[in-house]
Amino acid sequence: MLTEQQVYDALKGFEDPFLHKTLEETKGIVEIKIKDEIQHVSVKIAIAKTGTREQMQLQMAIVKAIKAIGANTVGIRFAELPVEMLDQFRGEMEAGSNSQGARKTEFIAIASGKGGVGKSTVSVNLAVALARLGKKVGLIDADIYGFSIPDMMGITKRPVVRGEKIFPVERLGVKVISMGFFVEDNAPVIWRGPMLGKMLNNFFKEVEWGKLDYLLLDLPPGTGDVALDIHSMLPHCNEIIVTTPHPTAAFVAARAGAMALRTEHTLLGVIENMSFFESKLTGEREYVFGRGGGEKLAKELQTELLGQLPLQQPDWDEEDFAPSIYAEDHPLGKIYGGIAGKIIQKLKK
């Protein structure tokens, strides 16, 4: 037989969707009644604001949780929290928002001056590296025409749509949204600028990301309309520029860096991809695309060279296939882990 304590324990960890405090903290579990003969549970829940989409989402989650512990049917009534309780928690939230320890989502855009430098590879591996360090991470595949992240991460599922909200797919600890989820059979995207801007806006506003420490954006290469739309949508954003060692690639990447500075975004640094090829037999390094491009670009943009990534193939696991993701103990996986650690430290300052 279900007890009131069991129901309470199942509910106390749920958060008020507006105050971001647990129902136990807000004393939001007002009433629990159980009809033993039919295993019917009725509860009264108080939250900051009723009659909203967030209430409906919370309602569905609560019903699922109560049925999971043995209830046959569930009835829920919602009420609004007393004014004094709302004032208390709003005061705490305002105080917290002014403190250095308050959590906020940091936006990190991954940009490049041209295609083919491995920007998307850097994006997915950096996102996974941050997640491995215990961070809550989201990733937007904002390269609308050249979307590739679902395939690179081995994602086979599609996002779930509930009401007016899109729930991203989670893979390797990263929540992912991409244009690739919304086209069939790798069809080309033939859209004009305003339509693209609307889709990107949906990625920010209509996707239920939950609490995130970092939201990464894999930008399209160059400084075109899509990149400009994102710069205008995010008043403050951190940016990483990806280049190869080749002087021309670095020269073109400087444009993306200059665009970030002109739109008052913060440059976190430069990542040099395809820095060299190292022979497994001899250990000798071949600088296939030249040398010095990343260092030169970082110096020109007055920022830091965050890391240099050699040319190496990820180890493929047929049972958990993610063709572009380096394992945590792979040499490149360790480099990405080091870069992620640097980023965390830079954004703490």
Mean pLDDT of the chain: 82
Answer yes or no: do 80 and 110 share one domain: no
Answer yes or no: do 80 and 137 share one domain: no
For the stretch 176-204, pLDDT in tens is 998 878 766 655 555 555 555 566 777 77
Q: 326: pLDDT confidence band, cut at 50, 70 and 90?
A: very high
Residue 9 pLDDT greater than 80, yes or no:
yes
Q: 100: pLDDT confidence band, cut at 50, 70 and 90?
A: very low
Answer yes or no: do 262 and 297 share one domain: yes
Residue 171 pLDDT greater than 60, yes or no:
yes
Answer yes or no: do 153 and 57 share one domain: no
The answer to whether residues 140 and 169 touch, using CB atoms and an 8 Å cutoff, is no
CATH number at residue 190: 3.40.50.300
How buried is residue 282: exposed, middle or buried, by Cβ count under 10 Å (0-12/13-18/19+)? exposed
One-letter amino acid at 268 equals L
Answer yes or no: do 158 and 74 share one domain: no
Q: DSSP secondary-structure letter at 179?
A: G
Answer yes or no: do 17 and 166 share one domain: no
Task: Tell me which residue has tokens 């859209």.
Answer: 191
Weakest-pLDDT range from 7-11, 14-18, 199-203: 199-203
Helix (H) or strand (E) holding 235: none
Q: Can you tell me the mean pLDDT for 315-327?
A: 84
Q: 298: pLDDT confidence band, cut at 50, 70 and 90?
A: confident
pTM to 2 decimals? 0.67
How far is residue 197 from each of residues 11, 48, 147, 301, measured CA to CA in Å?
A: 40, 33, 15, 28
Q: Provide the number of structural domains found in the chain.
A: 2
* Conformation bin of residue 154: beta by default, left when phi > 0, alpha when psi is -120 to 50: left
**End position of a domain, from candidates 97, 115, 140:** 97
Q: What pLDDT is attached to residue 103?
A: 52
Q: Which domain holds residue 211?
A: 106-348
**End position of a domain, from candidates 36, 70, 97:** 97
Q: How does 229-239 read in b/e, with b if 16+ C-beta sit within 10 Å?
A: bbbebbeebbb
Higher per-residue pLDDT: 197 or 342: 342
Please list the alpha-helical segments (H only) found in 114-172. Answer: 119-132, 149-152
For the stretch 104-141, pLDDT in tens is 789 998 988 777 788 999 999 999 999 999 999 999 98
Spatial distance between the Cα atoms of 102 and 107, rounded to a whole number of angstroms: 16
Answer yes or no: do 154 and 268 share one domain: yes
CATH number at residue 42: 3.30.300.130
Answer yes or no: do 147 and 179 share one domain: yes
Which has the closest alpha carbon to 262: 241, 242, 232? 232
Which has the closest alpha carbon to 12: 2, 1, 22? 22
Q: What pLDDT is attached to residue 306?
A: 95
* Token output for 116: 């083919």
Length of the chain in terms of residues written = 349
Q: What pLDDT is attached to residue 2?
A: 87
Answer yes or no: do 54 and 112 share one domain: no
Q: What pLDDT is attached to residue 194?
A: 53
Higher per-residue pLDDT: 96 or 105: 105
Answer yes or no: do 81 and 224 share one domain: no
Question: Cβ neighbours of residue 15 under 8 Å, at least 6 residues apart?
Answer: 21, 22, 23
* Token output for 265: 């975004």
Q: CA Rg, the chain, in Å?
A: 24
**End position of a domain, from candidates 97, 116, 141:** 97
Higher per-residue pLDDT: 204 or 340: 340
**Phi, psi for residue 228 in degrees, rounded to 5:** -65, -40
Which has the closest alpha carbon to 6: 71, 63, 61? 71
